[in-house]
């Protein structure tokens, strides 16, 4: 299995530009999570989907952030407009099932975003 | 609201030593607890998952325990090696919500 695939791995962009991060979950997994990791705040859950439907987006910091999951094999996290404080590592993760006790969460390698 | 705490934030030990990493959580109503390893510049790799009905899980030199009543989990690493140097995070998955709450991690350094 290829694991959770994220792109781009690294992105440097100027303040005000739109950023789109992409994620392909593990085939067959029906829960998908977007996390953000910074030194100051650690690992934060932004949003998660179950069967392509957003379940909880309470972690999305502002209206500048949006996430979609048009099908079971693809999700995007968009930041528009981007700001320097958005600089972080953004992780996508997936798991089989929803809330089940035995469902391991698998992480991608992350998208390292720098907004200058 | 579930809160997860990992103490200490950093730990340095000589090679060969056995060690214990701690994870505590405030709400015992959990579905499972998962331990992850994160190397610098990398994503999180799952090490062990303990279901709420289990008390421990083992994989090689790693042993994770779970005591829901006290809100604690430990990750025991036997005969530590320099390659074990990484940040270890625990995550608690809550029922009926599907999401997990992560601790801030313990950064382990194993000196040769």
pLDDT tens digits, one per residue of A28-44: 998 999 999 998 888 99
Listed residue (A111, A81, A84) closest to A21, CA to CA: A111
Mean pLDDT of B15-41: 94
Interface check B1 vs A, CB under 8 A: no
Mean pLDDT of B20-26: 97
Cβ partners under 8 Å of residue B72, min gap 6: B22, B23, B24, B25, B66
Contact A109 B102 (CB under 8 A): no
Report how many Cβ contacts below 8 Å link chain A to chain B: 64
Among the partner residues A4, A50, A105, nearest to B34 by beta-carbon distance = A105
Give residue A100's pLDDT. 54
Interface check B74 vs A, CB under 8 A: no
Interface check B53 vs A, CB under 8 A: yes
Give residue B18's pLDDT. 97
- pLDDT at B11 exceeding the cut of 90: yes
User: CA end-to-end span of chain A, whole Å?
Assistant: 36
B61 with B55: CB under 8 angstroms? Answer: no
Contact A43 B32 (CB under 8 A): no
Give residue B99's pLDDT. 77
By DSSP bridging, strand B56-59 and strand B44-51 are unpaired
């Amino acid at each position: 299995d290829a694991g959770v695939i994220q792109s781009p791995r690294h992105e440097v962009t100027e303040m005000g530009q739109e950023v789109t991060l992409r994620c392909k979950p593990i085939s067959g997994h029906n829960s998908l999570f977007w996390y953000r990791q910074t030194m100051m705040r650690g690992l934060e859950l932004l949003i998660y989907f179950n069967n392509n439907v957003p379940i909880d987006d309470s972690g999305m910091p502002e209206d500048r952030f949006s996430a979609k999951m048009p099908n079971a094999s693809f999700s995007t996290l968009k930041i528009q407009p981007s700001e320097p404080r958005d600089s972080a590592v953004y992780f996508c993760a997936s798991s089989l099932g929803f809330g089940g006790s035995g469902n391991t969460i698998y992480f991608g390698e992350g998208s390292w975003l720098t907004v200058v | 609201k579930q809160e997860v705490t990992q103490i200490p934030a950093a730990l340095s030990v000589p090679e060969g030593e056995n060690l214990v990493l701690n994870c505590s959580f405030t709400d015992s109503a959990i579905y499972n607890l998962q331990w992850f390893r994160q190397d610098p510049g990398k994503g999180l790799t799952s090490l062990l998952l303990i279901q709420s009905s289990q008390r421990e899980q083992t994989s090689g030199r790693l042993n994770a325990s779970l005591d829901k009543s006290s809100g604690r989990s430990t990750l025991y690493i036997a005969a530590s090696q320099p390659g074990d140097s990484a940040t270890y995070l625990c995550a608690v998955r809550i029922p009926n919500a599907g999401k997990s709450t992560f601790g801030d991690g313990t950064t382990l350094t194993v000196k040769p």
